[in-house]
């Protein structure tokens, strides 16, 4: 998949240089959840039928983050992860438009004219797609304004439990530790990826060595606590228990959550390797223990619960 970064200026030559007949998908697509996949699959099917490439346009950074919404400096699928997942879904070209307060001022008509310069023959978007200053442009307006350049397919939402599948719902699920529901909405386990770095090695001293994972991109961090997970490293996947927290038993000054995975029956040296963590179940919230022995006893219980749950998924 080719990634093309477009400047916020709609007159920038890069827009014209990127011109190619294509089916163009519009949306932010944070999470690449079931609703997003529904839109993408429709576009890919049509493009393959017509012998066209599939383009997808997203904005970066997140518009809500640019305007100061808390939490939107982190992503369910940061840009690198988004690229990997979109390529796997059949997208041929990703347009990443630089979003800032200047770009936010363009009118819906100006944005549609810019899309015409990309030579899309068909544009695909969700029913609630908004664009232009203050989100004044709607999917119906896109169809009317762009009718001389392209046709528009407006895709209806995917519902679950009577509500639209959305990135906002997924974030809310992760905030309360409802990983099972978040994974249902995503259509896959929520994941974090990062490099295994040296930590305090305290886990090794108490009999539960952990891999300290430094997220490689600004992933959205779920509720602090303990999770049953699967950890992938060196092409192999291991049942594991994960802690995301501020380590209150030992510290009172940590500001950023520490991500530590204990891989069952695993003893290799993997410092410097990349690990991908797939969250399967929330076990409990973060706690402060009165003694190290209390912590060890709880880790043992957490590990047994994680093992039992993960084994049940394999049956």
Q: Positive or negative, the Cα torsion across 264, 267, 268, 269? A: positive
Cis peptide before 304 (omega within 30 of 0): no
Give me the phi and psi of 146, to 5 degrees please: -100, 10
- Give the tokens for residue 81: 């992860």
pTM: 0.90
What is the full DSSP assignment across the chain? -EEEEE-S-TT-HHHHHT---EEEEES--SS--HHHHHHHHHHHHHHHHHT-EEEEEEEES-HHHHTT-TTTTSBSS-HHHHHHHHHHTT--EEEEEEP-TTGGG--HHHHHHHHHTTTEEEEEEETT--BSGGG-B-HHHHHHHTTTT-EEEEEPPPEETTEE--HHHHHHHHHTT-HHHHHHHHTS-EEEEEEEE----HHHHTT---EEEEESS-BPP--SEEEEEEEEETTEEEEEEEEEE--TTT-S---SPEEEEEETT-----TT-EEEEEEEEEEEE----SSHHHHHHHHHHHHHHHHHHHHHHH-
Can you give the pLDDT at residue 71? 87
Per-residue pLDDT of the chain (315 residues; tens, 9 = 90+): 999 998 766 667 777 777 889 999 999 999 999 999 999 999 999 999 999 999 999 999 988 888 888 889 999 999 999 999 999 999 999 999 998 888 889 999 999 988 888 889 999 999 999 999 988 999 999 999 999 999 999 998 888 877 889 999 999 999 999 999 999 999 999 999 999 998 766 666 667 888 999 999 999 999 999 999 999 999 999 999 999 988 655 555 666 889 999 999 888 888 999 999 999 999 999 888 888 888 889 999 999 999 999 999 876
Can you give the pLDDT at residue 199? 73
């Amino acid at each position: 998949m080719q990634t093309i970064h477009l400047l916020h200026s709609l007159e920038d030559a890069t827009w014209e240089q990127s011109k190619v007949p294509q089916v163009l998908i519009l949306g932010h697509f944070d999470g690449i959840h079931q609703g997003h996949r529904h839109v993408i699959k429709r576009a890919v099917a049509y493009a393959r039928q017509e012998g066209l490439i599939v383009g997808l346009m997203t904005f970066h950074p997140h518009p809500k983050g640019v305007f100061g919404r808390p939490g939107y400096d982190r992503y369910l699928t940061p840009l690198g992860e988004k690229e990997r997942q979109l390529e796997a879904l059949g997208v041929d070209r990703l347009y990443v438009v630089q979003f800032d307060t200047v770009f936010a001022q363009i009118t819906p008509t100006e944005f549609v004219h810019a899309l015409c310069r990309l030579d899309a023959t068909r544009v695909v978007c969700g029913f609630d797609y908004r664009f232009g200053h203050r989100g004044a442009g709607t999917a119906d307006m896109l169809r009317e304004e762009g009718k001389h350049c392209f046709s528009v397919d407006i895709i209806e939402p995917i519902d679950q439990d009577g509500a639209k599948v959305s990135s906002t719902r997924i974030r809310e699920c992760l905030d309360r530790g409802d990983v099972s529901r978040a994974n249902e909405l995503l259509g896959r386990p929520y994941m974090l990826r990062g490099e295994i770095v040296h930590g305090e090695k305290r886990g090794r001293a108490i009999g539960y060595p952990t891999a300290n994972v430094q997220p490689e991109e600004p992933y959205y961090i779920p509720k602090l606590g303990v999770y049953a997970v699967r950890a992938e490293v060196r092409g192999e996947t291991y049942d594991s228990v994960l802690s995301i927290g501020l380590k209150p038993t030992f510290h009172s000054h940590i500001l950023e959550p520490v991500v530590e995975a204990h891989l069952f029956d695993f003893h290799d040296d993997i410092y410097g390797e990349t690990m991908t963590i797939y969250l399967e179940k929330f076990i409990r919230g973060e706690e402060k223990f009165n003694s190290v022995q209390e912590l060890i006893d709880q880790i043992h219980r957490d590990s047994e619960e994680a093992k039992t749950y993960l084994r049940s998924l394999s049956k």
